[in-house]
Structure 1
Amino acid sequence: MTAAAIPATQDRSRLRRDLARAGRRRRLLAIGLIAPLFLFLLFSFIIPIGDMLRRAVVDSEIAETWPHAAAMLRQWDRRKDPDEAMFAVLGRDIEASAKAHTVATAARRLNYAIDGGRSLVMDTGRALRKLDAEPPSWREALVAANPAWGDKKTWIALAEASGPLTDFYLLTAVDLERDSANRIVHRPAQQSLYIEVLARTVLISVTVTVLCLLLGFPLAYYVASAPPDRAGLLMILVLLPLWTSLLVRTVAWIVLLQDQGIVNQMLMAVGLIDAPLRLIFNRTGVVIAMTHVLLPFMILPIIATMRSIPPTYVRAAISLGAHPAVAFWKVYLPQTLPGVAAGTLLVFIMALGYYVTPTLVGGPKDQMLAYFIAFYTTQSSNWGLAAALGVLLLVATAILYFAYSRLAGLNQVRLG
Structure 2
Amino acid sequence: MNTPLPSTAPFGRGPQAANRESFRAARRKAAMRALLLALPLLIFLLVTFVAPIASLLVRSVQNPEVHAGMPRLSAALAGWDGAGVPGEPAFAALAQDLKEASEYGQLGNIARRMNFYQPEFRSLLFKTARATRSQTPAQWKPALIDLDERWNAPETWRLLKRASISPTPDYLLNAVDAQVAPDGSVTSVAADSAVYRAAFERTVTISATVTLLCLVLGYPVAHLLATLPQNQSNRLILFVIVPFWTSLLVRTTAWYVLLQPGGVINSALLRFRLIDHPLPLIFNRTGVLIGMTHILLPYMILAIFSVMKGVSPVYMRAAKSLGAHPAVAFVRVYVPQTLPGVGAGCFLVFVLALGYYITPALLGGAGDEMISQLIASQTNDQLNWGLAGALSCYLIVFTAVFYFIFNRLVGIDRLRFG
TM-score, normalised to structure 2's length? 0.92
Paired residue secondary structure (2:187) = strand
CA distance in 2, matches of 1:380, 1:349: 26
Counterpart of 2:153 in structure 1 is 151
Q: Is the 8 A contact 1:79 1:181 kept in 2?
A: no
Gaps spanning 5+ residues in structure 2: where?
1-5
CA distance in 2, matches of 1:24, 1:334: 41
**What's the counterpart of residue 123 of structure 2?**
119
What one-letter code is carried by the residue in structure 2 that aligns with 1:160? Answer: R
* Range that drifts further, 118-127 or 326-335: 118-127
Residue aligning to 1:292:
294
1:114-141 CA distance string (max 9 Å, x none):
112222212221222222xx21331233
- Residue range with higher mean Cα deviation, 135-144 or 207-216: 135-144
Counterpart residue type for residue 181 of structure 2: D
CA shift for structure 1 position 19: 6.1
2:42 matches 1:57:
no
2:388 aligned partner: 386
TM-fit CA distance, 1:264:
0.7
The equivalences for 1:77-156 within 5 A come to 77-131=81-135, 134-156=136-158
Following TM superposition, by how much is the alpha carbon of 1:238 offset from its aligned partner in structure 2, in angstroms?
Answer: 0.5
Closer, same or farther in 2 for the Cα pair 1:110/1:316, shift >3 Å?
A: same
Q: Check whether the contact 1:78–1:181 (CA below 8 A) recurs between aligned residues.
A: no
* 2:81 alignment partner, SS class: coil
Cα distance, 1:192 vs. partner?
1.2
CA distance in 2, matches of 1:317, 1:24: 50
Q: Distance in 1 between matches of 2:209 and 2:298?
A: 16
Computed over aligned residues only, the root mean square deviation of the Cα atoms, in angstroms, reads 2.4
**SS of aligned partner of 1:268:** helix
Q: State the partner residue of 1:219.
A: 221
Letter of the 2:238 partner, please give it.
I
Does structure 2 retain, via aligned residues, the 8 Å contact 1:297–1:343? yes
How far has the Cα of 1:46 moved from its partner? 2.9
CA distance in 1, matches of 2:152, 2:399: 44
Say if 1:99 and 1:129, in contact at 8 Å, map to a contact too: no
Cα deviation, 1:338-367, whole Å, max 9, x if unaligned, reads 100000000000000000111111112111
- Using the alignment, how far apart are the partners of 1:21 and 1:398 within structure 2? 38
> Superposed, which structure 2 residues align to 1:16-415 within 5 Å?
22-131=26-135, 134-415=136-417
Structure 2 counterpart of 1:327, which letter? Answer: A
Look up the SS of the partner of 1:57 in the other structure: coil
Distance 1:141 1:208, change over 3 A: same
CA shift digits 1:10-41 (9 cap, x unpaired): 99799898667645532421321342343234
Determine the C-alpha separation between the residues in 2 that align with 1:140 and 1:54.
Answer: 40
Aligned-residue identity in percent: 44
Say if 1:259 and 1:83 are closer, same or farther in 2 by CA, change over 3 A.
same
Q: For 2:318 and 2:307, locate their aligned partners in 1 and report how far apart those are by CA, in whole Å.
A: 20
Q: Please list the CA deviations of residues 186-228 of structure 1 after superposition, one character each: whole Å capped at 9, or x if unmatched.
A: 1112221100000000011011111111111111111111122
Structure-2 change in CA distance of 1:207 and 1:7 (3 Å): closer
Secondary structure at the aligned position of 2:80 is classed as coil
Shift of 1:8: 12
**How many residues matched?**
412
In 2, the alpha carbon distance for the partners of 1:115 and 1:190 equals 16
1:338 touches 1:415 (CA, 8 Å); kept in 2? no
TM, length-normalised to structure 1: 0.93
User: Match of 2:46, as an amino acid?
Assistant: L
1:185 match: secondary structure: strand
Q: Give the stretch that moved more between structures: 72-81 or 385-394.
A: 72-81
The CA distance in 2 between the partners of 1:403 and 1:154, in whole Å, is: 45
Gaps of 5+ in 1: none
Distance 1:22 1:336 in 2: 40
Would the aligned equivalents of 1:297 and 1:347 in 2 still touch at CA under 8 Å?
Answer: yes
> Structure 1 residues 18 and 329, CA, compared in 2 at 3 Å: closer, same or farther?
closer
Distance 1:376 1:6, change over 3 A: same
Contact 2:70 2:101 in 1 (8 A): yes
How many angstroms apart in 2 are the aligned matches of 1:19 and 1:235? 44
Name which of structure 1's ranges 7-16 and 355-364 shifts more when overlaid on structure 2.
Answer: 7-16
Distance across 2 between alignment mates of 1:317 and 1:408: 23
The superposition leaves residues 134-167 of structure 1 with CA deviations (integer Å, 9 ceiling, x where unpaired) of 2133123323443322222221111111132101
User: For residues 356 and 8 of structure 1, what CA distance do their matches in structure 2 show?
Assistant: 70
One-letter amino acid of the structure 2 residue matched with residue 364 of structure 1: A
Q: Structure 1 residues 11, 401: CA separation in 2 closer, same or farther (over 3 Å shift)?
A: closer
Q: Distance in 2 between matches of 1:235 and 1:392?
A: 37
Tell me the distance in 2 between the aligned counterparts of 1:235 and 1:145.
Answer: 74
